[in-house]
Amino acid sequence: MHRSILSIVLNSQNYALLDLSSKVEYALLALLELASHHRKKLPLTMSEISAKQPIPERYLEQILTNLRRVGVVQSLRGSKGGFVLVREPWQITILEIVTLVEGERKEKHTSDSPTLEKTLVYEIWEQANAASIEVLGRYTLQDLCQERETRAQQSPMYYI
């Protein structure tokens, strides 16, 4: 029995339909740290964030500057300065962060003479795209914080 190319590709362990860029990954990690300190109303410095997450400081600086520019974080100056979230973590969706970091997705133009086969492929791709948007829109920074706390409590601690 022959499997279709589509089923082989979709079932492959080495294939990611939706790829997470390092820029988005680092932004989410930095925002996760800021979200977990949001209740305390204490700003985090870039050094504190990069000490907790594997983000190069130069890259982190660019990411936080961009997030400040679009109004997700605020920078506070002074000896007790750093970065804080502008809004509550439950108000910031993962989809919003992906969109802000990567930019709006542009409509892909099909060729002037779309064939039946191209139309079928694009329809499936649009369904996959819509599903990914729905999932990313469902989760917030607060959800990530809660899930991290839950998993941290479940993992065993080893003391030497």
Tokens of 65: 């500057």
Instruction: Write out pLDDT tens, residues 32-80.
Output: 999 999 988 889 999 999 999 999 989 999 999 999 999 999 999 988 8
Q: Under a CB-based contact definition with an 8 Å cutoff, are residues 145 and 32 in contact?
A: yes
Q: For residue 105, what pLDDT band results from cuts at 50, 70 and 90?
A: low
Q: Determine the pLDDT at residue 14.
A: 55
Reply yes or no on whether the pLDDT at 27 is more than 80.
yes
Give the span between the Cα atoms of 39 and 48, in whole angstroms. Answer: 17
Which neighbouring-strand residues pair with 74? 84
Tokens of 12: 């492959």
Q: For residue 129, what pLDDT band results from cuts at 50, 70 and 90?
A: confident
Q: For residue 13, what pLDDT band results from cuts at 50, 70 and 90?
A: low
Q: Compute the half-sphere exposure of residue 18: CA atoms within 13 Å on the CB side of its CA.
A: 16
Higher pLDDT pick, 82 / 19: 82
